[in-house]
Amino acid sequence: MKVAILSESSADEAAIRILLEGILSAKTQGIPSLPLRSRGWPSVIRVLPAVLKKLHYQTDVDALVVIVDSDDSPVHQSGHDEVGGEDSQCRLCQLRNVVSSEKSRLRPVIGRSQIKTALGLAVPAIEAWYLCGCDSHVNEATWHRKLQSEQITYTRRTLKETVYGTERPTIEIELDHATKAASRLASDLSLLEQLFPNGFGAFARDVRNW
């Protein structure tokens, strides 16, 4: 299966592929990195329509995975999945709206099935996923309470420092730590789904529906 991955760093994309293959219990084939002038949420949501068009019309990719950090935006909730329950500030809801809108505009291509998609939200950042099983305080529910002004034991900055050993890691350090964490988690994803049910869980459910 050929799968394109779009996220906020190339290191994260490598780790996400490991997690994806853990869900599928199968290896996937990648494509050259998707073009991003800069990294981060604004870039991902901006280029997503063009990426979908390019993959549909110019490649034989079977699926596209998109994972972004929530940062300080609302944590996705199960109620957002209900008709009329979307939160316009939730990044996963925004990704879903863009994908749905763009897919509806894609013209059929002979011999080409519509691209499958899987979308996820790392709360508050993908480094929280990497710490799953290492720090029980790091989870979606705790960060949700933080957004409601509760004092908690970590910030986005301290998550990065804990994972990489520095607040400003090089891409080589990011790649090393991210892929090692993903390999550890991929052998048993149950805890990741339990502690991050609406962000990672949404991604896993999308993949299992392919």
Whether the per-residue pLDDT at 142 is higher than 90: the answer is yes
Q: Grade residue 35 by pLDDT with cuts at 50, 70 and 90.
A: low
Angle among Cα 183, 52, 98 to the nearest 5 degrees reads: 95
CA 77 to chain centre: 16
Reading the block at residue 137, the tokens are 């305080």
Q: Which residue has the higher pLDDT, 85 or 205?
A: 205
Reading the block at residue 158, the tokens are 């301290």
d(CA 171, CA 117): 27
d(CA 154, CA 158): 6
Angle among Cα 204, 144, 78 to the nearest 5 degrees reads: 45
Site of tokens 């901006």: 46
Percent residues over pLDDT 90 in the chain:
84
Phi, psi of 122 (to 5 degrees): -90, 115
Whether the per-residue pLDDT at 78 is higher than 70: the answer is yes
Cβ contact 34:53 at 8 Å: no
- Paired with 3 in beta bridges are 63
pLDDT digits (tens, 9 = 90+) for 47-59: 999 999 999 999 9
Q: Grade residue 66 by pLDDT with cuts at 50, 70 and 90.
A: very high
d(CA 102, CA 46): 12
pTM score over 0.85:
yes
Whether the per-residue pLDDT at 36 is higher than 70: the answer is no
Cβ contact 91:41 at 8 Å: yes
| pLDDT of 37 | 55
